[in-house]
Chain A
Amino acid sequence: MNANTVIFAIVVILGLLTARRTSRNWQRVVPLAVLAVLLLLAPRLSDNVAVLTTVFVGALLGLGWNLIGGYTGYGSFGQVAFFGIGAYAMAASIAQTQSFLGLPPVVGLLIAGVVSGLYALVIGIPVLRLRGHYFAISTLTFAIATQQLVKNLDFLGGTSGISTPIIRQQQVLFMNLDRDTYFYFLGFILTAVAILVTWLVARSKFGYGLQAIRENEDAAASMGVDTTRYKLQAFVLAAVITGVAGALQAYLRSGVSPEDDGVFQTRFNLLPLIIPLIGGVGTVWGPLIGAFAFLGIEHVLTSASGSSTFVQDWERVITGAIIVVAVLFLPRGLVQLVGSRGPKGWRVFVDNIRATRV
Chain B
Amino acid sequence: MNALDGTTRTAEAFIGHTSSLAAARRLVTDFLDEHRLGTEIRRWGEVVTSELATNAVQSSPMTPYVVEAAVTRDRSHVSVSVRSAGKIADIPTEFQLPVPADSAHLGTSGRGLVIVDRLSDDLHVLEHPDGTISVTAVVQTRSGG
A and B bind? no
